[in-house]
């Protein structure tokens, strides 16, 4: 009994130590989101997602893909085109009760000037010594979804590898696991996404020349050392209901992002957890034409006169299905920061459309 208690206390001590060292907003490129459909409804999709992008939002939703195969690609740009965000995914039905998928995400800034070698050994400026590098984040996800014995209930999981590169200066490898559930009864849908359920661990290593280290020291910059970065779990419950009117339907949805890395600037916050709600609405005609709207990123902002105001990010989207191809568009980052508008385009294709399950 004493050995078990000692082991339990050791495990709790280890976890508390890891959580205490975990930085907030780790691997945030994986929080941007994929697919214009989801972004158009403010990311409130954990209960509704039913296409190949479910591998990202809630892998349990993959089981609702009707076709044997489905593929999607998305491209968007941020900060006036400085940063580029690309996503691609493909799914394959294994049998009537299971689906597998593979997804790739890249978020990067390219052609960054490297001026650390601008001054030569003689102390003179030499512009020919300026080179360029890229800072890019990659994620590779293998996903699996399966129907469970209980009617209307499905389960899914991701195993993901994260690769982050900053030129030749720094790089990291990371690994993590996500899991999700979806339940549907008539027009009601409930979802639960457990992102980074095991914690996602990134091992960073740095390779700086002696000249670069010297410049860092002279300019008062800290020389980085090899380290471990941990992304703490996020819990995302969601609910939606589909109202049908002949060939028209309306689906309002709500997701709650429950983070475990301490106090964040969101609607509901504490020192332990924070809760960020997402609201969405999708209207469609005969599953062919779609209109979408959503609200997320509800925050408190202090203005110049020290008055605190509540802000939110509205999102809009449209979609059209033409035979086996669906084209979606979303306009995000609108509202307070008009200069940071993001236009997101996604194309999704059903393959083997005649072999529906």
Coil/strand/helix, residue 45: coil
Element (H, E) at 7: helix 2-21
Report whether CATH 2.40.160.60 matches the domain 25-351: yes
Percent of the chain residues topping a pLDDT of 70: 88
pLDDT digits (tens, 9 = 90+) for 150-194: 999 999 999 999 999 888 888 899 999 999 999 999 999 999 999
Res. 235: pLDDT tops 90? yes
Mean pLDDT on 129-137: 84
Instruction: Say yes or no to pLDDT of 14 above 60.
Output: no
**Spatial CA neighbour of 99 closest among 30, 154, 140, 34:** 154
Break the chain into its structural domains and give their ranges: 25-351
301 confidence band (pLDDT: 50, 70, 90)? confident
Q: Is the pLDDT of residue 10 over 60?
A: no
pLDDT of residue 304: 74
Nearest CA among 156, 162, 126, 130 for reference residue 60: 156
For 126, 157, 174, 211, 214, the CA distances from 119, given in Å and listed in that order, are 6, 51, 35, 10, 12
Q: What is the pLDDT of residues 236-290, one digit of tens each?
A: 999 999 999 989 999 999 999 998 888 888 888 888 888 999 999 999 999 899 9
Distance CA 14, CA 22 (A): 12
pTM: 0.83
Cβ–Cβ under 8 Å, residues 274 and 299: no
Provide the 10 A C-beta neighbour count for residue 32.
18
Model pLDDT, residue 297: 86
Q: What pLDDT does residue 44 have?
A: 96
The most confident of the ranges 14-18, 218-222, 320-324 is: 320-324
pLDDT value at position 79? 74
Residue 256 confidence (pLDDT): 95
What's the chain's average pLDDT? 84
Average pLDDT, integer, range 325-334:
87
What's the whole-number mean pLDDT along residues 216-235?
80
């Amino acid at each position: 009994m004493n050995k078990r208690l000692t082991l339990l206390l050791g495990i709790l001590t280890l976890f508390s130590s890891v959580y205490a060292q975990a930085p907030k907003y780790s691997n945030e490129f994986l929080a941007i989101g994929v697919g214009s459909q989801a972004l158009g409804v403010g990311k409130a999709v954990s209960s509704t997602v039913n296409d190949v992008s479910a591998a990202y939002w809630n892998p349990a939703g993959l089981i609702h893909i009707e076709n044997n195969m489905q593929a999607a690609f998305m491209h968007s740009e941020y900060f006036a085109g400085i940063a580029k965000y690309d996503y691609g995914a493909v799914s394959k039905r294994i049998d009537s009760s299971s689906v597998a998928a593979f997804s790739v995400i890249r978020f990067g800034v390219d052609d960054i000037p490297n001026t650390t070698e601008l001054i030569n050994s003689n102390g003179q400026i030499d512009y020919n010594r300026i080179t360029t590098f890229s800072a890019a984040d990659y994620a590779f996800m293998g996903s699996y979804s399966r129907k469970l014995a209980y009617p209307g209930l499905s389960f899914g999981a991701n195993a993901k590898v994260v690769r982050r590169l900053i030129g030749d200066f720094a790089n990291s490898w990371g690994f993590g696991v996500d899991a999700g559930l979806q339940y549907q009864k008539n027009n009601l849908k409930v979802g639960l996404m457990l992102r980074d359920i095991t914690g996602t661990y990134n091992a960073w290593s740095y390779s700086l020349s002696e000249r670069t280290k010297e410049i860092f020291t002279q300019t008062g910059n800290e020389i980085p050392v090899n380290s471990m970065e941990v992304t703490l779990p996020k819990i995302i419950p969601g609910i939606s209901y589909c109202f049908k009117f002949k060939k028209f339907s309306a689906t309002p949805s709500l997701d709650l992002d429950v983070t475990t890395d301490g106090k964040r600037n969101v609607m509901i916050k504490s020192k332990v957890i924070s809760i960020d709600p997402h609201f969405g609405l999708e209207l469609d005609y005969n599953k062919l034409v779609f209109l979408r709207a959503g609200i997320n990123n509800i925050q408190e902002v202090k203005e110049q006169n020290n008055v605190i105001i509540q802000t939110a990010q509205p999102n809009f989207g449209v979609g059209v299905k033409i035979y086996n191809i669906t084209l979606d568009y979303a306009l995000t980052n609108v509202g307070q920061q008009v200069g940071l508008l993001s236009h997101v385009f996604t194309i999704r294709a059903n393959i083997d459309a005649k072999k529906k399950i």
